[in-house]
Amino acid sequence: MAYKQGVGDIICYNGCMIKYYLSVVFLSVLLVPVVILYAQESPVLTASLNTNTPPAKILPASAVYADVALIDLAASGGDIYLSGIYLATDVPIGLSNFSNIYIYDDTTNALVATYPSQSENSNLVEFNFITIANGFSKTYRVKASLSASAAGSVRLGFSGFKYSPTIATQSGVPVYGNIMTLPGIVPTPTPTSTPTPTPSATPLTKSTPALLGFTTLAAVGLSEGDTVSAVNSTDPDIYIVNSWGYKRLFLNPVIFGFYGHLGGFTKVKTIVSSTRDVLVTSGLFRNCETDDPKVYGVEVMGEDSGILHWIDTSGDQAVADDPDFFKKVFCVNSDEFNWYSKGSDYTSVNQVPSYSR
């Protein structure tokens, strides 16, 4: 007998299809947040000093391949791929104390990288990709040979990393080994009695670009927002300039990496030392990404590290202390702002240290 389709069959068919579509939509709604949450995860690289790191020591002038630090790098939230490490010390120009620095994989004893190297940044040592798997860590041993001019006390370690292809969030940097006392003699200043100056309401005279002969950026071949570095000088620092003739320092190569729109090291313009010196360095920052009105002063603590201090003063008082105050404030983004440690508040703009090499 031939089958005849009835009204009930049509209703069943349509009802079944409706249930099917609803099931697909329901599952899609459930799955979408999972995919989004997964996509938002980013790997984290945590640096820390290994418990077996070499103790503080006195190094002789002939020291070569001296063990100076043992540093752990741990990955979480995903695999991490490294292609370089930024070396740093806790004192300005501290790397000049070393003729060579060597980084070894402490497990395999394989040489990973040496300093100095022919990298884009003088503090960066580059190598073939190293993978640190999610949930695992690797330990690196740092050895050093002293230069003929080595003197003072210094700690050596890592201030940041170069990633490829995915940039990771990093924690625990800068990380340094224990103190090394170097063979050179550092003169001890003779204490002198300094009379206490009489308080004065007159603002301190501060160096300004105009006093140093600055007129316009165009006159020195620059534009606002250019990144610059002095060629043929002992100052490897990179700065960014504003239209008022002030410049700010990128204290650490990692910070420079927070501003990809600047084009990287290949876009840095070389200037002569005299132009660099006319452009006065400012240490006043504000987080413009969050539109935070607070202005902070940076205190440089070492070759690649610093602390931010909120300047707890009124705008009128700040201008009274420094008429160029607002011309010297540079915008930073949240990545850089959060990179710095925060110190105690300043109560005057006059407490902000001046930076110079």
Domain limits, the chain: 44-181, 218-351
Q: Do 281 and 354 contact (CB within 8 A), yes or no?
A: yes
State the DSSP string of 213-240: T---SGGGT--TT-EEEETTSS----EE
Structure tokens at 150: 């080595």
The confidence score (pLDDT) of residue 149 equals 87
Amino acid at 320: A
Q: Give me the pLDDT at residue 195, please.
A: 53
Cα–Cα distance measured from residue 116 to residue 99, given in angstroms and rounded to the nearest whole number: 8
What gap in Å lies between CA 85 and CA 333, rounded to an integer?
23
- Give CA separation, 90 vs 44, 47, 54, 157, 158, in Å: 24, 16, 17, 9, 10
For residue 321, is it left (φ>0), alpha (ψ between -120 and 50) or beta? Answer: alpha
Give the integer Cα–Cα distance in Å for 258 and 109. 33
**Contact, 175 vs 141, CB < 8 A?**
no
Q: What is the DSSP letter of 178?
A: -
Q: Are 285 and 168 in contact (CB under 8 A)?
A: no
Neighbours of 298 (CB within 10 A): 23
Q: Report CA 21 to chain centroid distance, whole Å.
A: 51
**Given this model, what pLDDT does residue 304 score?**
79
Spatial separation of the C-alpha atoms in residues 327 and 157, rounded to whole Å? 36
Total H helices, total E strands in the chain: 5, 23
Provide the residue type at 89 as one letter. Answer: T
The total number of residues written for the chain in this structure: 357
Which two structure tokens, joined as six digits, stand for 312?
């707890």
User: What SS3 string covers 152-207?
Assistant: CEECEEEEEEEECCCCCEEECCCEECCCEECCECCCCCCCCCCCCCCCCCCCCCCC
pLDDT by 10-residue block (mean), the chain, 357 residues: 44 47 45 43 90 92 90 94 92 88 93 82 86 95 91 92 85 92 63 50 67 92 93 83 94 90 91 92 94 93 86 93 93 94 93 82
The conformation of residue 313, written as its DSSP 8-state character, comes to S
Query: What class does CATH assign to 44-181?
Result: mainly beta
User: What is the Cα–Cα distance from 14 to 245, expressed in whole angstroms?
Assistant: 74
